[in-house]
Amino acid sequence: MNQQIAIKTQAEIEIMREGGKILHECLQLTADMVKPGVSTYELDKFAEDFLRKHDVVPSFKGYHGFPATLCTSVNEQVVHTIPTKTQILKPGDIISIDCGAVHKKMHTDSTVLVGVHPLSNQADSLIKNSEDILDSTLNFIRDGIYLNDLSEHIEKQIHRHGYNVVQELTGHGIGYKLHEPPHVLNYKEGTGRGPQLKAGTTLAIEPIFTTGNGRIQTLHDKWTIVTADGSLASQIEHTILITEDGYEILT
């Protein structure tokens, strides 16, 4: 937490805007493919082809050995699920599609949460509430806020909808590296307010929570993290820039 939080230059911010725009388009088009009978492998192949066609490098592929462009986490899968030809989407599923992109050495990172209709009331509400939680979090962000105040706000929004935080998984700073200081916890830790966040800071804001108790476990592939109680999970994310009068979504 005490590591230096980088303030980006205007040139670096512009590069992240360019990369974030490509990543946003990639995720929107990938999300449009979500329907019964589609495999998560097909989503991954489309996303990688799209990024490379736009001269953007997938951030995740090869990161600590991760084998794919997307993390495609379905239902009780929380994060880091490897796309496969055998994971076929079916009606009622929800899927978080998480992707990172490197454009001119600068990273952006974003996740969309999508349903395979028709959805249960619980799944439909989870998607809508996830978007509300992210929107509320972004509207809290402005120049000069304190990191732990931001984390406390995220936690309150998650609890307001009756969900529980996955405490082990966090948002993060982002820029020349996929993960930079600070860790953006989704819950308040301790009594201090933490470092002050200044205009020019870029963050990946990603509330991660479950409809159950919030406990998780990692599967044998050493990547896929699932809810321990089998409950539905949510991850939704934007890379943002803190500005003098608020924030700007870069993805």
| Confidence (pTM) | 0.97
101 assigned to some structural domain: yes
Residue 105 — left, alpha, or beta (φ > 0 → left; ψ -120 to 50 → alpha)?
Answer: left
Q: What tokens were used for 118?
A: 């028709």
4 assigned to some structural domain: no
Distance CA 69, CA 66 (A): 8
pLDDT of 3 higher than 70: no
- State the sign of the Cα–Cα–Cα–Cα dihedral 214, 197, 2, 239: positive
199 assigned to some structural domain: yes
Domain total of the chain: 1
5 assigned to some structural domain: no
Describe the strand order of the beta sheet including 208-210 as a list of residue ranges. 164-165, 208-210, 233-235
123 assigned to some structural domain: yes
Q: What is the pLDDT of residues 163-210, one digit of tens each?
A: 999 999 999 999 999 999 999 999 999 999 999 999 999 999 999 999
38 assigned to some structural domain: yes
99 assigned to some structural domain: yes
Closest CA to 111 of 77, 146, 159: 77
Q: What is the amino acid identity at position 121? A: N
Q: What separation, in Å, do the N-terminal and C-terminal C-alpha atoms of the chain show?
A: 25
For residue 183, CA distances in Å to 169, 203, 233 come to: 9, 9, 21
Distance CA 40, CA 105 (A): 27
Where in the sequence is the domain holding 28, given as residue range(s)?
Answer: 10-249
Q: What is the pLDDT of residues 100-149, one digit of tens each?
A: 999 999 999 999 999 999 999 999 999 999 999 999 999 999 999 999 99
CATH number at residue 114: 3.90.230.10
1 assigned to some structural domain: no
